[in-house]
Amino acid sequence: MGNNTIKTDICVIGGGSAGLSIAAGAVQMGADTVLVEAGKMGGDCLNYGCVPSKALLTAGKVARTWKKSSQFGVTYTKPEVDFHKVHDHVKAVIADIEPHDSVERFESLGVTVIQAPGAFVDGKTLKAGDVTIQARRFVIATGSRAMIPPIEGIGDVPFLTNESVFDLTDLPKKIIIVGGGPIGCELGQAFRNLGSEVSIVEMATIMPKDDPELVSVIRNRLEDDGISFLEQTKVLAARKSSEGVSLRVEVNGKEREIAGTHLLLAAGRVPNLEKLNLEAAGIRYERQGINVDKGLRTSNRKVYAAGDVTGGYQFTHMAAYDAGIIIRNALFRLPAKVSYNAVPWVTYTDPELAHVGLSEADAKKQKIEHKILNWSFADNDRARAERRTEGKIKVITTLKGKILGASIVGLQAGELILPWGLALSKGLKIGDMANVIAPYPTLSEVSKRVAGSYYTESLFSDRVKKVVRFLVKFG
């Protein structure tokens, strides 16, 4: 492009979920827009996260189907897994979505795309490659990457992260996963279903942000699948071994060795900040991310930040939500502010675990007088027909029935959580959900049934029975 300076309305740094949403929205609303991306368009979600992990999970589910088929009167032999073709399937899914996030598409929209790393020169100027960009507003959306935990010897052993694991063309014989959060559990189940031996090492308990009662359903299923869990376990050191890699860990005060052919690190994320030269732009940040206000504006009033780089909820749907807030603030000068009272999340193991709003622990911590409603998938006819009765829904309400939160573990929990997010965002009461007509037989009936259970005690009380007996005397 040659040495030149571009003056623009808005410059977006990062071509992941947040950055692409902002760039597409801004240019289509009439703003001159520049997008700076040093790596792959689509960012972590498309290339290393949501998309490939769900594609791999689906392959694992298909491979596992034969184990449970006999209960339906259908029997077939154990499938053969060609992992190279599994790899090709994952890459094909990425390729199917890639055009939507491509340089060509965004240039066709009118966005100027610069494929180079960007760094601030001062508070209103960015340098990207040989291009200098001066913008009325900047948006930092550089995302995050896998954290490499400070394990002794980790630099001397081969390891995988979410950025490299989907490049494997041979199935790991024995994979050790450090980290028992959603990423570790999802990939652990996928590899186990495809035939790997899997050990998950977690310093606390798996999926610590979710309701422990519901997490136990996931743990039981993964253990039934054959996954070995080492919870409350500290990783002391890593070294190469004849098999591949060995970890020295401490469990209950005792040390032991765990050997594997592959090591996958899934122990958290860190924001991509180091190369931005934020100090030159007067942008304050901490280890966990860039400091932003409720409008996602940084300490530099001309610069906003969105998505993982702020250290908040690290979900693609929250990156898209942030994008909407920034467009309203930066382009329309509207006082839009973030609200996180109805943020859903899903762990896509089988069964899935989904959550939105306050949990039981949150309600107790905030000293909110509350009521807990439960309904089991075992009492749902569709779940019975599909022989997937493991799981339950748990809803938290105020004593007067205002919905505070919901958690679901079970088949298609991620699809079932949506109406609860709507209920929270609109401030609905439990009666609104109880009065919905749910089609039969569907899994969605669990939401109606759990809502109806709020009224069980009062509807079938002795007082109501007396009233009914009195009224029936009048014919």
* Residue range 288-301, pLDDT digits in tens: 999 999 999 999 99
Which residues contribute to the annotated binding site? 54, 118, 142-144, 179-186, 202, 268, 308
**pLDDT tens digits, 45-82:** 999 999 999 999 999 999 999 888 999 999 988 899 99
Cα–Cα distance, 2 to 77 (Å, whole number): 62
What is the topology classification, in CATH, of domain 154-267? FAD/NAD(P)-binding domain (3.50.50)
Band the pLDDT of 272: cuts 50, 70, 90.
Answer: very high
The CATH label, of 3.30.390.30, 3.40.50.1370, 2.40.128.20, 3.40.50.2300, for the domain at 344-459 is: 3.30.390.30
Which residues contribute to the annotated binding site for NAD(+)? 179-186, 202, 268
Band the pLDDT of 461: cuts 50, 70, 90.
Answer: low
pLDDT of residue 335: 87
- Name 161's Cβ contacts closer than 8 Å, sequence gap at least 6: 145, 146, 148, 264, 265, 266
Which residues contribute to the annotated binding site for FAD? 54, 118, 142-144, 308
Contact, 33 vs 13, CB < 8 A? no
Q: What pairs with residue 234 in β-bridges?
A: 250
pLDDT, average across residues 13-33: 96
- Give the total residue count for the chain: 475
Contact, 229 vs 180, CB < 8 A? yes
Band the pLDDT of 1: cuts 50, 70, 90.
Answer: very low
Q: In the structure encoding, which two tokens stand for residue 128, read together?
A: 């990207």
Cα–Cα distance, 366 to 287 (Å, whole number): 27
Among 84, 86, 109, 85, CA closest to 99: 109
pLDDT over 90 (residue 162): yes
| pLDDT above 70 as % of the chain | 97
pLDDT over 80 (residue 460): no
Q: Do the first three CATH levels of 154-267 and 344-459 match, i.e. the same topology? A: no
Band the pLDDT of 377: cuts 50, 70, 90.
Answer: very high
Cα–Cα distance, 58 to 56 (Å, whole number): 5
Contact, 449 vs 375, CB < 8 A? yes
pLDDT of residue 334: 84
**pLDDT tens digits, 258-268:** 999 999 999 99
Among 1, 56, 18, CA closest to 321: 18
Cα–Cα distance, 423 to 245 (Å, whole number): 48
Summary mean pLDDT of the chain: 95
CATH number 3.90.1640.10 is the correct assignment for the domain at 4-41+102-146+270-330:
no
Cα–Cα distance, 317 to 334 (Å, whole number): 22
**pLDDT tens digits, 87-145:** 999 999 999 999 999 999 999 999 999 999 999 999 999 999 999 999 999 999 999 99
Q: Is 70 exposed, middle or buried (0-12, 13-18, 19+ CB in 10 A)?
A: exposed
pLDDT over 50 (residue 174): yes
Among 322, 303, 330, CA closest to 138: 303
Band the pLDDT of 243: cuts 50, 70, 90.
Answer: very high
**pLDDT tens digits, 316-344:** 999 989 999 999 999 888 889 999 999 99
pLDDT, average across residues 445-469: 82
Q: What residues does each domain of the chain span?
A: 4-41+102-146+270-330, 154-267, 344-459
Among 349, 371, 352, 475, CA closest to 418: 352
**pLDDT tens digits, 199-208:** 999 999 999 9
